[in-house]
Structure 1
Amino acid sequence: MITQTISLYNWTNGVIMIAIFGLVCLTLIGILINFMMSGKKKDKTEN
């Protein structure tokens, strides 16, 4: 039972998971900003 609870406190695995989560968040924020910037463009031929 003790060996099962010790494996839950593995710092290496936690740091890797937090780093992956951070990269995914930054990627999603970058995609969102890209969509926002591309949506503001207007054609001058419509006026």
Structure 2
Amino acid sequence: MITQTIALYNWTNGVVMIAIFGLVCLTLVGILINFMMSGKKKDNTED
């Protein structure tokens, strides 16, 4: 009974969705790190 249920399920859609979710998460983390690293530095020099 279990083998029939597993055979009817298509794994491709789930794998594609997980891959897309992973790519989106990595992209967002990369953008966040980029913003953190390229923040404007305050200059303490006074004229």
For the criterion TM > 0.5, the same-fold answer is yes
Runs of 4+ in 1 over 2 A off after TM superposition: 3-7
Q: Identity, % of aligned pairs?
A: 14
Q: Secondary structure at 2:42's aligned position in 1?
A: coil
Report the TM-score when normalising by structure 2. Answer: 0.71
The alignment of Structure 1 onto Structure 2 pairs a total of residues equal to 43
Q: Distance in 1 between matches of 2:24 and 2:3?
A: 33
The equivalent of 2:18 in structure 1 is 17
Q: CA RMSD in A?
A: 1.8
**Structure 1 stretches of 5 or more lacking a match?**
none
Equivalences for residues 1-47 of structure 1 within 5 A: 1-3=2-4, 5-6=6-7, 7=9, 10-38=11-39, 40-43=40-43, 46-47=44-45
Report the TM-score when normalising by structure 1. Answer: 0.71
**Structure 2 stretches of 5 or more lacking a match?**
none
Deviation per CA, 1:17-43: give whole Å up to 9, x if none.
1000100000000000000000x5232
Larger helix percent: 1
